Chains A and B, each alone.
Chain A
Amino acid sequence: MELYSKTATDLAGMLRQKQCSAVEIANSVFDRMDAVEDRVKAYLTVEKESALAQAARVDEKLAAGEELPPLAGIPVAVKDNICTKGVRTTCASKILENFVPPYNATVVERLKEQDFVMTGKVNLDEFAMGGSCENSAFQKTANPHDLARVPGGSSGGSAAAVAAGEAILSLGSDTGGSIRQPSSFCGLVGLKPTYGAVSRYGLVAFASSLDQIGPLGRSVEDVAMLYRAICGRDPMDATSAALPQAAASWDLEGGVRGLRIGLPWEYFGEGVEEPVKAAVYRAVEELKKAGAEVKEISLGSADYAVSAYYIISSAEASSNLARFDGVKYGYRAPNCEGLTELYERTRSEGFGAEVKRRIMLGTFVLSSGYYDAYYKRAKRLRQRIMGEYEDAFADCDVVITPTAPSTAYKLGERVGDILKMYAGDICTVTVNIAGLPALSVPCGKDENNLPIGMQLIGPKFSEGRLFQTAHTWEKLCGGFNAIPTL
């Protein structure tokens, strides 16, 4: 078994037992990249030189007998909307094509303290807006399980890189499902942490009240390890929270005996493909056999959640993306006459269609005369969704749903069908709206041998319990970690 196909947990052990070196791990990953990247197209920027240098430093420290943090020497890919000092951060947008941040995001700083090895920056839907990675201004990333299909999005590059063995772990961001849905499409474990659990400082904002950075990996333990490294209060992010003790400690081997699982019937409706439903039900059945209690619950506002999500997220995006005006950094339209033309042409030429659509939608819903009818009502709905989850968690510990209504679809299949594209977020958006943690784990495959994902949702700061439940399932199903042949 090649080093690139191992889990971070295994590699960390091997490094400490001198069964391999960090440079060997990095080389294995970069060799794999050489072999498959031209077909997967996960990376926008590859940082091979600095990665190998960093791996060499880890080897020196190990040779010197230093005790290193868990992620030392582990190759991690970083979504290209997370700022990396001195390394181009494009958000897959023409408008930031040559933007080199003068600072590191807090998560990157924390991983650097752990001596991680950054392989490079990976593709996404432009400014994280989309669910297929097809909205990238630069390239279309393919799903390693079927190169004709999308990897999901917006963290499509993060998912494809790990699924293809071009990274061991990756960081993504999740505003409405952008970590979980690509994890589902690519057969990975992906966590959208509790809002405030991970610092957003350095994440180029899409929708500030919904965005969270989170880990993707090939096992629950790997994802838990990366999460532990990045979580916790950051004074640079006012919305970040000091984690309660329970949120930072967990026992993966704790099992599910007595765990109360809620299945909201609204998430198993006709919009969800049959094989997906069946796979999730089968997994839940296994958990029940392992000692969990299962009950059907109701989350009634699910029907309106997608509308509320697109109003709130677009409103915030219209403001967050206003700073890209050609004045300070990024793309500036050439030969402009005056300020208005500079703004209009820079933004018209710099942003892609989907981003422009959301900026216009967001501008509209915040406009005087429309604010009450749209933004204010969406905020009220947000309160209601939070309340419904609160009620649900009075009766159960974990809510389980499909992660996405379908498995990975074909590249180009849904381009232009905006509503169908937006409907794909139906299972994931309420989690962001309510600020809850949710984990997507593989739960089988469909008739095309495409991975299906199961979503585990918990109350705020219950990441530990989600890991524990998911790990139980991981053992029951014999493990997830399988890199497809490419």
Chain B
Amino acid sequence: MDYEMIVGLEVHAELKTKTKIYCGCKNEFGAEVNTNCCPICTGMPGTLPTLNEKVVEYAIKMGHATNCSINRICKQDRKNYFYPDLPKAYQISQFDIPLCEHGYLDCIVNENGDTKRIGITRIHIEEDAGKLIHDDSFAGSLVDFNRCGVPLIEIVSEPDIRSVVEAKAYLDTIKSILQYIDVSDCKMQEGSIRCDVNVSVHKPGEPFGTRVEMKNVNSFSGACRAIEYEANRQIEILEQGGEITQETRRWDDMKGCNFLLRSKEDAQDYRYFPEPDLLTIVVEQETVDRLKAELPELPNKKIKRYMEEYGLPHFDSNLLVENIATDRFFEQCIALGVCPPKAIANWLLGDVTRILHEKNIEITETSLTPEKLTDMIALITKGTISNTAGKTVLEEIIFSDKLPEDVVQEKGLAQVSDTSVLEEIAKSVLAANAKAVEDYKGGKTNVIGFLVGQCMRQSKGQGNPAVLKEIILKLIAAE
């Protein structure tokens, strides 16, 4: 009952240009209904589109980031269909000559950092449609045209994806690249990135199965659930001796299942033809080259580099790269050469991130600098302060201009390694915890951690835990 799944994904990402693709209206989410629209994007008779050239640049950037070849000369086409959210009754898109094509992405698919190459068939530019609003107080539907003409790129993958894990890796990679090259916000909850999913299953060694397309997949986690569900649905049908029919299904994420939207016979004929209102797109080679040169190091490559160069685990690398601001901070810390990457990563992903989450802010909104953080970490490595004291220092320096050394002085956080002082503390702790000492002697050696902890508490965090442990062991042995 072994089946292999074949998955292809079409990702639609809204580009974060200032204005819409074919008119001067603002491209922003959340404005009051029907305020970011004009005669052009509402399809008034007689209006004409003019192309926002930034859209072409953003799409080319994504093309470069996904190793595509760029069609410097390409055209736009009309995709004709009727729907109330599409005021012109056609969508301006690209049909046979997309702006970018024949690319690929190397997606990291496991903890070892192994990658899987997934082909990119094409990336083309197009306009978004409006939104239908269903209001119970009104016997019908209302249309919000604010989203009409918001620029989109559609990124179409080859059917190279073989599992939900790979699909997730691919989608995460796409998302982080879009953010890294700064062309899309990728805010799922605002619908700025969506995808259509194509799934088929077959037994290994047999030809590919019939493909089913799923629409209305509005989140990446939803995509994974949708793929899983659809593959199982198909397998079940096949196991019962049934056949898969080529069709389009609608994913319902709330119910966690899909249902038939239209069969192959009802497939729409979009009657594509070249958009006569717009000129052929001609991009200068210099522009293509400049956009390539401007590309930053891409997240999937960066994760691999962190693993290989800094010896960071995949988990850490991934988390670091996920947040562009934190990642930039990390690299600045590394550049200072003061402390080891793993220690920096631990602090950034641990306490720093915790504080940022609590306040719901980005690292750039704090007073923390790479110098301050690495100095603080260096104080710990040198043994000047304990790890616990380090946390206190961080709390102080993250929202003030204070330097780590100042906080250490001010709060008297310097670590005590003086054995005579520590011995007194250890003696009192052992006296107060006779049971634990008994346990230790009885073989429960892990209570040593508890005893060290108690000593640390008594020393107000200033005791050097390594020294304390030695003393405790010596004292117990001497009893």
Which stretch (B78-86, B183-191, B215-223, B224-232) binds chain A? B78-86
Which stretch (A49-57, A99-107, A445-453) binds chain B? A99-107
- State in angstroms the CA–CA spacing of A91 and B46 once bound together: 11
Whether the Cβ atoms of A328 and B87 lie closer than 8 Å is: yes
- State in angstroms the CA–CA spacing of A209 and B143 once bound together: 30
Closest Cβ–Cβ distance, residue A103 to chain B (whole Å): 5
Residues of B within 8 A of A236 (CB): 48, 50
Residues of A within 8 A of B44 (CB): 83, 101-103, 329
Whether the Cβ atoms of B46 and A323 lie closer than 8 Å is: no
Whether the Cβ atoms of A325 and B82 lie closer than 8 Å is: yes
Q: Mark A87-122, 1 if CB is under 8 A from B, else 0.
A: 001010000100101110100000000000000000
Q: State whether the Cβ of B370 lies closer than 8 Å to any Cβ in chain A.
A: no
Do A239 and B279 form a contact, CB below 8 Å, given A322-B88, A328-B87? yes
One of A105, A319, A325, A328 near B46 (C-beta < 8 A):
A105
Whether the Cβ atoms of A238 and B276 lie closer than 8 Å is: no
One of A319, A322, A327, A368 near B143 (C-beta < 8 A):
A327
Whether the Cβ atoms of B80 and A201 lie closer than 8 Å is: no
User: Which residues of B in the span 144-165 have a Cβ within 8 Å of any Cβ on A?
Assistant: none
One of B42, B48, B82, B279 near A322 (C-beta < 8 A):
B82
Q: State whether the Cβ of B288 lies closer than 8 Å to any Cβ in chain A.
A: no
Residues of B within 8 A of A204 (CB): 45-46
Q: Mark B9-45, 1 if CB is under 8 A from A, else 0.
A: 0000000000000000000000000000001001111
Whether the Cβ atoms of A209 and B276 lie closer than 8 Å is: yes
- Give the size category of A's interface with B: 35 or more
Closest Cβ–Cβ distance, residue B377 to chain A (whole Å): 56
Q: State whether the Cβ of B271 lies closer than 8 Å to any Cβ in chain A.
A: yes
Residues of B within 8 A of A325 (CB): 82, 84, 89
- State in angstroms the CA–CA spacing of A209 and B277 once bound together: 7
Whether the Cβ atoms of A83 and B45 lie closer than 8 Å is: yes
Residues of A within 8 A of B279 (CB): 238-239
Q: Mark A357-377, 1 if CB is under 8 A from B, else 0.
A: 000000100111001000100
Q: State whether the Cβ of B2 lies closer than 8 Å to any Cβ in chain A.
A: no
One of B50, B80, B84, B278 near A319 (C-beta < 8 A):
B80
Do A319 and B269 form a contact, CB below 8 Å, given A238-B279, A328-B43? no
Name the residue on A nearest B88 (C-beta): A323
Residues of B within 8 A of A235 (CB): 50
Whether the Cβ atoms of B50 and A101 lie closer than 8 Å is: no
- State in angstroms the CA–CA spacing of A21 and B86 once bound together: 49
Residues of A within 8 A of B43 (CB): 323, 328
Q: State whether the Cβ of B440 lies closer than 8 Å to any Cβ in chain A.
A: no
- State in angstroms the CA–CA spacing of A401 and B378 once bound together: 91
Whether the Cβ atoms of B48 and A343 lie closer than 8 Å is: no
Residues of B within 8 A of A207 (CB): 276
Whether the Cβ atoms of A343 and B82 lie closer than 8 Å is: yes
Residues of B within 8 A of A89 (CB): 45-46
Name the residue on B nearest A208 (C-beta): B276
Q: State whether the Cβ of A339 lies closer than 8 Å to any Cβ in chain B.
A: yes
Where chain A touches its partner, the secondary structure class is loop
Whether the Cβ atoms of A238 and B278 lie closer than 8 Å is: yes
Whether the Cβ atoms of B50 and A83 lie closer than 8 Å is: no
- State in angstroms the CA–CA spacing of A295 and B277 once bound together: 37
Closest Cβ–Cβ distance, residue B42 to chain A (whole Å): 7
Whether the Cβ atoms of B90 and A339 lie closer than 8 Å is: no
Residues of B within 8 A of A96 (CB): 45
Name the residue on B nearest A240 (C-beta): B48
Residues of A within 8 A of B271 (CB): 318-319, 363, 366-368, 371
Name the residue on B nearest A104 (C-beta): B46
- State in angstroms the CA–CA spacing of A236 and B277 once bound together: 11
Whether the Cβ atoms of B273 and A366 lie closer than 8 Å is: yes
Q: State whether the Cβ of A237 lies closer than 8 Å to any Cβ in chain B.
A: yes
Whether the Cβ atoms of B48 and A201 lie closer than 8 Å is: yes
Whether the Cβ atoms of B50 and A238 lie closer than 8 Å is: yes
- State in angstroms the CA–CA spacing of A99 and B44 once bound together: 10
Do A319 and B45 form a contact, CB below 8 Å, given A239-B279, A343-B82, A363-B271? no
One of B46, B51, B276 near A202 (C-beta < 8 A):
B46
Closest Cβ–Cβ distance, residue A345 to chain B (whole Å): 13
- State in angstroms the CA–CA spacing of A99 and B39 once bound together: 13
Whether the Cβ atoms of B87 and A238 lie closer than 8 Å is: no
Name the residue on A nearest B143 (C-beta): A327
Q: State whether the Cβ of B445 lies closer than 8 Å to any Cβ in chain A.
A: no
Closest Cβ–Cβ distance, residue A476 to chain B (whole Å): 40
Closest Cβ–Cβ distance, residue A45 to chain B (whole Å): 16
User: Which residues of A in the span 195-216 have a Cβ within 8 Å of any Cβ on B?
Assistant: 200-205, 207-209
- State in angstroms the CA–CA spacing of A227 and B244 once bound together: 63
Do A319 and B78 form a contact, CB below 8 Å, given A239-B277, A375-B273? yes
Do A319 and B90 form a contact, CB below 8 Å, given A237-B48, A363-B271, A368-B269? yes
Q: State whether the Cβ of B49 lies closer than 8 Å to any Cβ in chain A.
A: yes
Do A319 and B273 form a contact, CB below 8 Å, given A89-B45, A201-B46? yes
Residues of A within 8 A of B367 (CB): none
User: Which residues of A in the span 224-257 have a Cβ within 8 Å of any Cβ on B?
Assistant: 235-239
Q: State whether the Cβ of B112 lies closer than 8 Å to any Cβ in chain A.
A: no
Q: State whether the Cβ of A222 lies closer than 8 Å to any Cβ in chain B.
A: no
Q: State whether the Cβ of B263 lies closer than 8 Å to any Cβ in chain A.
A: no
Name the residue on A nearest B90 (C-beta): A319
Q: Mark B257-276, 1 if CB is under 8 A from A, else 0.
A: 00000000000010111001
- State in angstroms the CA–CA spacing of A89 and B45 once bound together: 10
Residues of A within 8 A of B277 (CB): 205, 208, 238-239
- State in angstroms the CA–CA spacing of A205 and B43 once bound together: 12
Q: State whether the Cβ of A315 lies closer than 8 Å to any Cβ in chain B.
A: yes
Closest Cβ–Cβ distance, residue B265 to chain A (whole Å): 14
Q: State whether the Cβ of B388 lies closer than 8 Å to any Cβ in chain A.
A: no
Residues of A within 8 A of B87 (CB): 323, 327-328
Residues of B within 8 A of A315 (CB): 273
Name the residue on B nearest A91 (C-beta): B45
Q: State whether the Cβ of A316 lies closer than 8 Å to any Cβ in chain B.
A: yes
Name the residue on B nearest A235 (C-beta): B50
Residues of B within 8 A of A316 (CB): 273, 276
- State in angstroms the CA–CA spacing of A392 and B272 once bound together: 34
- State in angstroms the CA–CA spacing of A328 and B88 once bound together: 10
User: Which residues of B in the span 37-67 have a Cβ within 8 Å of any Cβ on A?
Assistant: 39, 42-51
Whether the Cβ atoms of B88 and A205 lie closer than 8 Å is: no
Whether the Cβ atoms of B82 and A200 lie closer than 8 Å is: no
Residues of B within 8 A of A209 (CB): 276
- State in angstroms the CA–CA spacing of A218 and B130 once bound together: 47
Residues of A within 8 A of B88 (CB): 322-323
Closest Cβ–Cβ distance, residue A332 to chain B (whole Å): 12
- State in angstroms the CA–CA spacing of A91 and B48 once bound together: 17
Residues of B within 8 A of A339 (CB): 84
Residues of A within 8 A of B89 (CB): 319, 322-323, 325
Residues of A within 8 A of B49 (CB): 238
Residue contacts A-B, CB under 8 angstroms, 29 given:
A81-B46, A82-B46, A83-B45, A89-B46, A96-B45, A101-B46, A103-B47, A201-B47, A204-B46, A208-B277, A235-B50, A238-B49, A238-B279, A239-B277, A239-B278, A316-B273, A318-B271, A319-B273, A322-B80, A322-B90, A323-B87, A323-B88, A325-B84, A327-B143, A328-B42, A366-B80, A367-B269, A368-B271, A371-B271
Nearest 4 A/B pairs, CB to CB: A322-B89, A366-B271, A208-B276, A209-B276
Given A323-B45, A339-B84, 20 more contacts at CB 8 Å? Answer: A96-B45, A101-B44, A201-B48, A205-B46, A208-B277, A236-B48, A237-B48, A238-B50, A239-B48, A316-B273, A319-B273, A322-B89, A323-B87, A325-B84, A327-B143, A343-B82, A366-B80, A366-B271, A367-B269, A371-B273
